[in-house]
Amino acid sequence: AEKLLEVRELTAGFHTERGFLRAVDRVSLSLEAGQTLCVVGESGSGKSVTSLAIMRLLDYSGGTIAGGEIRFRGVDLTELPQREVMRIRGNRLTMVFQDPISALNPVFTAGDQIAESLRVHKGMSPKAAWRKAVDMLRLVGIPDPEMRAGQYPHEMSGGMCQRVVIAMALACDPELIIADEPTTALDVTVQAQILELLQRLKRELRTSILLITHDMGVAAEMADRIAVMYAGAVVEEGTAAAIFERPRHPYTIGLLRSIPGTTGERGTELYTIKGGIPRIEQLPGGCRFHPRCPYAMENCAREEPPLLEAADGHRSACWLTDMPEVMT
């Protein structure tokens, strides 16, 4: 299948007085059209910096892309001038952020905000853009869309605001939506509704989704493929089925054990991986997971394991080739 997005050896981070902080270290990802790729990791794993880099929004948060390629339908976004990027961003490539309230402009109505991007990117007349905005609100399941289109963000609940943000992200019929923890700021029942909405839109519109999440349970529901990030690097990548049925990397195994109901050990405490994610300025040598890894060997502290194909289309960065069975 055609690669919609291909990130190769992306390195990105922040220049500081003490040197370059490498938040993202030679990350490679790929996504086929019509699919959902979940990038999973704890906070501080570099997943948000990766998504901002892909959107070419990193400059606005003080960051820099230091190396690698971000190919979107074959075109390397890292080499495009911002003027060209602005024609793609918000149009063919859109983003849904964690907090819908701050993603919306408080002084414009929902309808105006959606219509604005249709006027800018698609050259629609104000009237046609407004009609399409109402249609988009209907599509994302907002009741009484004509009335809601005329409302301001503060007149709506958080869940409804996230539906508006998703309607905005979809209005121009993008090829790819990047959603960074789109449900984390919402309460549990609303979370499930928003995930269901994204699934339905993906099926009906065949939009590709890059979903950033810290939650393996969310990835289980949403992903075709999963990339697990740890301390700035992809440590495992494969189909959702392979990751859940035959995880290879000890970090992934730890993440899976921390989902309630996956270990079969009812009534036992939730497994948690000991220790915390290292600060990027204090990355350990060798395997970046070795201080926390229950399987660490002597070699692990010295040499960094490369991300290698462990099985067909399933890659893992770990010196252990045969992992013990996980769920037994």
Specify whether the CB–CB gap between 42 and 53 falls below 8 A.
no
Q: What is each CA distance from 165 to 19, 159, 198, in whole angstroms?
A: 37, 10, 12
Neighbours of 268 (CB within 10 A): 8
Residue 212 is encoded by which pair of tokens?
A: 């950033």
Break the chain down into helix, strand, coil percent, rounded to 5. Answer: 40, 25, 40
Residues 69-108 that bind ligand SF4 (CB under 6 A): none
Q: Choose the contact partner of 48 out of ligand SF4, Mg ion, none; CB within 5 to 8 A by kind.
A: Mg ion
Q: Assess 207 for contact with Mg ion (CB under 5 A).
A: no
Using CB under 5 A as the binding criterion, the count of chain residues that bind Mg ion stands at 1
CB 4 within 8 A of CB 31: yes
CA distance 253 to 256: 5
- Shortest distance, CB of residue 182 to Mg ion, whole angstroms? 11
- State the minimum distance, in angstroms, from the CB of residue 123 to ligand SF4: 52
Backbone φ and ψ for 188, nearest 5 degrees, come out as -55, -45
Are 296 and 213 in contact, with CB atoms under 8 Å apart?
no
Q: Quick check: 48 binds Mg ion (CB under 5 A)?
A: yes
Residue 170 token pair: 């979809």
Query: How many chain residues bind ligand SF4 (CB under 6 A)?
Result: 14
Stretch that binds Mg ion, among 34-42, 45-53, 275-283, 320-328 (CB under 5 A): 45-53
319 touches ligand SF4 by CB under 6 A: yes
Closest to ligand SF4 by CB, 16 vs 299, is 299
Residue 319 binds which entry of ligand SF4, Mg ion, none, CB below 5-8 Å type-dependent = ligand SF4
Cβ proximity to ligand SF4, 14 vs 295, nearer residue? 295
* Binding-site partner at residue 290 among ligand SF4, Mg ion, none, CB < 5 to 8 Å by type: ligand SF4
- State the amino acid at position 138 in one-letter form: R
List residues binding ligand SF4 (CB under 6 A).
249-250, 287, 289-290, 293, 295-297, 300, 305, 318-320
List residues binding Mg ion (CB under 5 A).
48
